[in-house]
Amino acid sequence: ADGPVEPWGYRDKVSFVFAPAGRQPLVMGHYRRGTRSAFAAGECPVHAEAGNEVAFRLRDALVRAGVPAAAPDGRNGIARHVVVRVAEGTGDRLATLVVTENVTPLRRVTGDMERFERQMSSRPVAGTQPPRFGFHLNLHDRADGFLFGRETKRLFGPMEVRETLAGVTFLLSPTSFFQTNVRIAGLMVDHVLRLLPPESCPRVLDLYSGVGLFALPLARRGQEVTAVEENRHAVAAADAAVRFNRLPDGAWRPVAGRVEAAISRLTPRPGGRAWDAVILDPPRQGCPPAVLDWIFRTLRPRLAVYVSCNPQALAADLAAIPPDYAIAEVTPYDMFPHTAHIEAVGSLVLKS
C-alpha cells in the first residue's frame, strides 16, 4: 500500500467488554481468543489513545458507582460493553455504554463522565477548537452476538462525530458502521478514485455501497453514481452525508435493497446508457455467483473495481470471471496490523 502507516493506535473504533472476574464485580478487557472468557486489560496499544482514555475513565466510574458487569449472555448484571469512536480529523469522541437496563447508579456514572468532558474541554489545544465529547447509553438485554441493542439514548454532548475522507464529511452516530482504521480507509478511497477518473468513468455503479465510502467522493467530483445497499441505517447515513456536503444534484442515486434483488431493475434497456465502471465491495464471504455473472456477462463494464476484506473469497471470485477480463492489479492493504486480516483493491479491465 502507499506509504508507511503507524501500526499502533490505529483503531479509531475502540471497544472493550465488561465482565465479572472472581471477587471483582466488574473488570474491563477483551475476550480470550475463541472464548467468551474475558481478561482484564491494563492497556490496548492498537486502540486510539484518545478512545482508551475515555474507556478507562468510564471503567473507573462504573466501579465507583458499584455497577456490576453482565455475563456474556446479558444476564445477572448491568454493564456489557463500551464503544468509543474517535474522529481522526478533529479528535472528537463519542462513547456508548451498552447495558442490560438503565439503573439509578448510572446517573452517578453520567455525572463522572460530564466532569471528564469539562476537563477535556479545558485543555489548551493550539490553533484548533477543543475536541467535543458525547456520551450515550444503549439498552441491550438480549442473549445474542450483536454489540448493540435496539435503543440508544443520548445522555449529553453531540449526537455524532464527523469524519472526513477525500473531501467528504461523514456523520457517525453511536451505532453506525464505519471503517475501524480510518487512515488505511483513506488510502483505499484515494486508490479507487485514481482507478476511476471522471473523464473515462462518468457513470459508476457501486454495489454493496455501505455508507457511501467510495460513492460519495466520486459524486463530489461530479461523477454520476448509483449506489446499492440493503442496510437501511447505512443508506440513511449516506443520505445525511449527501445533504451535509451539498453534493451536486443528480450525482447520487441510492437504491435500497439487496444487490441480488436489485440487479434485474438495473439492467440497461436496449439503447440505454450503460455504466462505465462498477465497484464491488461485498461481504466477507464474497460476491454471489448470480451477481458476478450479471456484471461480467450481462452488464460488461469496461472497468470493474473489486474491494475485498477476504483474499480467499477474492481469489475464488476472480477465478470465476470470464476470460475476456484481465486482472490489471490487486493491491493489499494492512487494515488491521498485528492480525491476519488483509483488505485488497483489485481492478479488472475488459480486454476488447
Tell me: the pLDDT tens digits for 252-283? 999 999 999 998 889 887 766 789 999 999 99
Residue 82: Cβ within 10 Å count: 23
List C-alpha distances in Å: 239 to 169, 202, 211, 235, 292.
12, 21, 8, 6, 27
Q: How far apart are CA 188 and CA 166, in angstroms?
A: 10
Q: Cβ distance 282 to 209 under 8 Å?
A: no
Give the predicted TM-score (pTM) of the model. Answer: 0.90
pLDDT bracket for residue 170 (50, 70, 90): very high
- Topology of domain 182-350 in CATH is Rossmann fold (3.40.50)
All CATH 2.40.50.1070 domain ranges in the chain, comma separated: 13-159
- Pick the catalytic residue from 44, 201, 287, 309: 309
- 268/292: higher pLDDT: 292
DSSP class per residue in 268-304: PPTTSPPPSEEEE---TT---HHHHHIIIIII--SEE
Percent of the chain with pLDDT over 90: 78
pLDDT at 4 over 60: no
Q: Cβ distance 187 to 5 under 8 Å?
A: yes
pLDDT at 95 over 70: yes
> What per-residue confidence (pLDDT) applies to 296?
95
- 11/128: higher pLDDT: 11
- 248/41: higher pLDDT: 41
The helix/strand/coil state of 51 is helix
* CATH number given to 13-159: 2.40.50.1070
> What per-residue confidence (pLDDT) applies to 222?
93
All CATH 3.40.50.150 domain ranges in the chain, comma separated: 182-350
Question: Cell 482514555 appears where?
Answer: 53
pLDDT at 198 over 90: yes
pLDDT bracket for residue 127 (50, 70, 90): low
Q: How far apart are CA 96 and CA 27, in angstroms?
A: 17
H/E element holding 315? helix 311-319
- Tell me the longest C-alpha to C-alpha distance in the chain: 73
Nearest alpha carbon to residue 226 among 172, 189, 188, 262: 262
> What per-residue confidence (pLDDT) applies to 271?
66
Angle of helix 49-65 relative to helix 106-122, nearest 10 degrees? 140
Q: What is the DSSP letter of 174?
A: T
Would residue 287 show up in a list of annotated catalytic residues for this protein? no
pLDDT bracket for residue 123 (50, 70, 90): confident
Name the most confidently modeled range: 89-93, 141-145, 168-172: 168-172
> What per-residue confidence (pLDDT) applies to 125?
64
pLDDT at 126 over 90: no
> What per-residue confidence (pLDDT) applies to 124?
64
Residue 332: Cβ within 10 Å count: 14
C-alpha cell at 352: 476488447
> What per-residue confidence (pLDDT) applies to 269?
76
Nearest alpha carbon to residue 196 among 349, 319, 3: 349
Q: Which long-range contacts (CB under 8 A, 24 or more apart) does 118-124 make?
A: 120/93
Q: Cβ distance 107 to 37 under 8 Å?
A: no
Number of residues that this document lists for the chain: 352
pLDDT at 1 over 60: no
Beta strand 203-207 pairing with 224-229: parallel
Beta strand 133-139 pairing with 151-156: antiparallel
Nearest alpha carbon to residue 198 among 212, 217, 170: 217
| β-sheet with 343-350: strand ranges across | 252-256, 224-229, 203-207, 277-280, 303-308, 343-350, 325-333
Terminal CA-CA length for the chain: 29
Q: How far apart are CA 51 and CA 84, in angstroms?
A: 6
